[in-house]
Amino acid sequence: MRKRRLYCFLLLTLSCTSMVQAQWDMPLSHYWAVRGFYNPAFAGATEQIRTAAAYRYEWAGIKNTPQKVVITADLPIEFLHRRHGAGMVFYGEQAGPLRNTLLAAQYNFRGKMGNGALQIGIQAGIYSLQFDAGSREIVPVSAIGKQSTMHVNAVEEQLPDLNAGIVWDDGQRFAGLSVLHITQPRFHTFNDSVTTDLQSDSARIAIPRSINFMAGYNIGLLYPLAIQPMVWIQSNLTRTVVQATLRLEYNKRFSGGFTWSPGEGYVVFGGTTFQDLEMGYAYNRHTTGPASMSKGSHELYLRYDLPLDYFKPKLQPHKSIRLL
């Protein structure tokens, strides 16, 4: 029975990989380390205060290509005799002198479902935009010795943003579905080629709504070696990106693996854990599209867990006055 459930779970995750690829929310190679960034229902899923950060240098060898930073923090909380989760997200993306940032808060409610927990989460935040991330294009330079350059349309707006998601997790398996940019925030771009009145609604561009599915399984049959297949699919209903990952973890200290993205390329990654600090590096090789003109993308991540009582005041030892 247990093997049957495992096969059904893997079939469900792998059967979703028949889609293509998305554009505004470009994927991270270590998506599982900052999965709360893509689904607020993951906030507070552990019994610790979990912090994580990822830095991505994209499309090396091309001028003005994006550099990204994602920082997440979350913890479980209890009130009214119920389990909840809370978290925060910071996201920064820079292309040349222009930068987009997001600061958001997360909340989720947790309940029992079968042998696992069902979490329903929501995220609300503010996007501060200076460029249209959906307008990125690489312009090749024919002159010898000069780099190709990435162009984007300039923007100057602050927009509210809303995400929501649902996750089922039993400690060994997880599956989550989320919707990003539910309200499809709209903004104006400042493009010299556009002569339309910028105050007109017809000149406004929307951040596309994005649907994310993420699932994984921790197979510990060969202890101390754990096998962790994962899949992540992101679609805006026009284009879709898929990442299918096989991660190996040895003795809960060393990890490494491979990710394949159909129509995009592949990722090779490795990492280690020292006490409560986990760190890793990934190299992303792009095989199709304009990004194939680059020397690949590089990514670093850190994750650190703190006990829930870390910030509580500690009882100080003292001597009884009877012994003085």
Provide CB contacts within 8 A for 118, sequence distance 6+. Answer: 110, 111, 112, 166, 167, 168
Amino acid at 206: A
Predicted pLDDT at 15: 39
Report the alpha-carbon distance of residue 188 to residue 158 in Å, rounded.
11
Percentage above 70 pLDDT, the chain:
82
The token pair at 25 is 């929310």
Which stretches within the chain are classed as H helix? Answer: 2-14
Looking at CATH, the fold of the domain delimited by 2-323 is given as Porin (2.40.160)
Question: Considering the entire predicted model, what is its pTM?
Answer: 0.84
SS3 assignment, position 10: helix
Q: Half-sphere exposure of 278 toward its Cβ, with a 13 Å CA cutoff?
A: 21
Predicted pLDDT at 141: 67
pLDDT of residue 12 exceeding 60 = no
User: What pLDDT, in 10s, does the model give residues 145-174?
Assistant: 567 888 888 999 999 999 999 999 998 999
Report the alpha-carbon distance of residue 270 to residue 282 in Å, rounded.
7
Residues 207, 92, 177: CA angle, nearest 5 degrees: 55
- The residues with which 315 forms a beta bridge, in sequence order, are none
Predicted pLDDT at 92: 96
Domain boundaries, the chain: 2-323
User: What pLDDT, in 10s, does the model give residues 271-282?
Assistant: 999 888 999 999
Predicted pLDDT at 66: 87
User: What pLDDT, in 10s, does the model give residues 257-270?
Assistant: 999 999 889 999 99
Higher-confidence residue of 246 and 11: namely: 246
pLDDT of residue 203 exceeding 70 = no
